[in-house]
Structure 1
Amino acid sequence: MSTMHDNEPLAEFADLVLNVGRLIRAHTPAGSEIVALTETERQVMRLIDLHPGCAPSDIAARGRLQRTNVSAALRGLEGKGMIRRTATGRQVSVTPTRLAATNLRRLRAAWATELAETMDTDRETLFQCTQLLRALEQRLTEPAD
């Protein structure tokens, strides 16, 4: 059985990941080039990018979000031209649009520029960190049992 002290490195890691994500978003340039999204819209859009064609209920389960919040975010994203909802029988599937792909490319370019100006990390370390975070994201967005 692990103690709280044993888990301190995990708590520190989680705190740093959350804060670094917030700081990167804060440095994202504002303007007409990038479509602004709310925090919930960002979460929902990320899940749609990871799982194109998923149903709104799947988005809610994977993101540990309330269905009403997902519905509101989907309406907002649809209004901004970021997603398309398609009825497939009794289900609805949600897919990103070209605008969403363009927006993500612009965001990633802005983030890469920001980090390139502030980081001096070798590619292998960066690759390992990316793999770790990708594995964490995948585990944390697995559907709840």
Structure 2
Amino acid sequence: MIDGSDARAELITELAILIHYVGRKLSLHMPEHPDIVPLSALEGIFLEHISRHPGIRPSELSADLGVKSSNTSTVLRAMEDKGMVRRTVDAGDARGVQVFLTARAEAAIARIHEDWVRILAGLIREDDGLRAATRLLAAIDDGWPGQSTSPR
């Protein structure tokens, strides 16, 4: 017989596995469109995060996503080369840099989101479950030690 804590642990493990699988599927699915530049999975995560946090500093981006600063610099440089982000001097601190999406990136995100809605809407049958799942995932993200990717 499984006691309550074992059953809860099994559900939490299953949730983590499913989050991983679904996240991977979403990160791999890029709609075919001439305006969408091919991006790596990490570039896609950066794109979404910068979209939610316009003007973010590279150091904040590194901390929020748990990526080494040298890797953040490499990814941002690649995204700049693709015309997806622009770095500007921080108006409040001339030593700092802020990162913003370009119009091209914003259009790409809109197309990607439209595609995700089209795919997921056919798989999600009830809005109550959708709301509950969204609240649960936001609570997990917000409560993650040292990192939160939710909008500030």
User: Same fold by TM (over 0.5)?
Assistant: yes
**Cα distance, 1:70 vs structure 2:** 0.6
Cα separation, 1, equivalents of 2:60 and 2:6: 33
Distance in 2 separating the partners of 1:85 and 1:4 = 49
- Identity level (%): 32
Matches within 5 A, 1:32-111: 32-88=34-90, 89-111=94-116
Q: Which runs of 4+ in 1 moved over 6 A?
A: none
What is the DSSP-based 3-state SS (H/G/I as helix, E as strand, rest coil) of the residue aligned with 2:36? Answer: coil
RMSD over aligned CA atoms reads 2.2
Distance in 2 between the 1:99 and 1:87 partners? Answer: 21
Scaled by the length of structure 2, what TM-score is found? 0.80
For each residue in 1:80-134, what CA deviation from the matched residue of structure 2 results, as whole angstroms up to 9, or x when unmatched? 11111011210000111211111111001111112233x1411121122122223
Structure 1 residue 27: Cα displacement: 4.3
Give 1:142's aligned residue.
Answer: 148
Q: Secondary structure at the match of 1:90?
A: strand
Q: Distance in 1 between matches of 2:124 and 2:98?
A: 41
Distance 1:98 1:134 in 2: 27
CA distance in 1: counterparts of 2:143 and 2:133, whole angstroms: 16
Structure 1 unaligned segments of length 5 or more: list them. none
Instruction: Report the 3-state secondary structure (helix = DSSP H, G, I; strand = E; otherwise coil) of the residue aligned with 1:8.
Output: helix
Structure 2 stretches lacking a partner, 5+ long: none
Judged with a 3 Å threshold, the aligned counterparts in structure 2 of structure 1 residues 4 and 92 are, in CA distance, closer, same or farther, namely farther
Within 2, Cα distance between the matches of 1:39 and 1:27?
A: 10
Aligned residues: 140
2: CA distance, partners of 1:116 / 1:28? 17
| TM-score, normalised with respect to structure 1 | 0.83
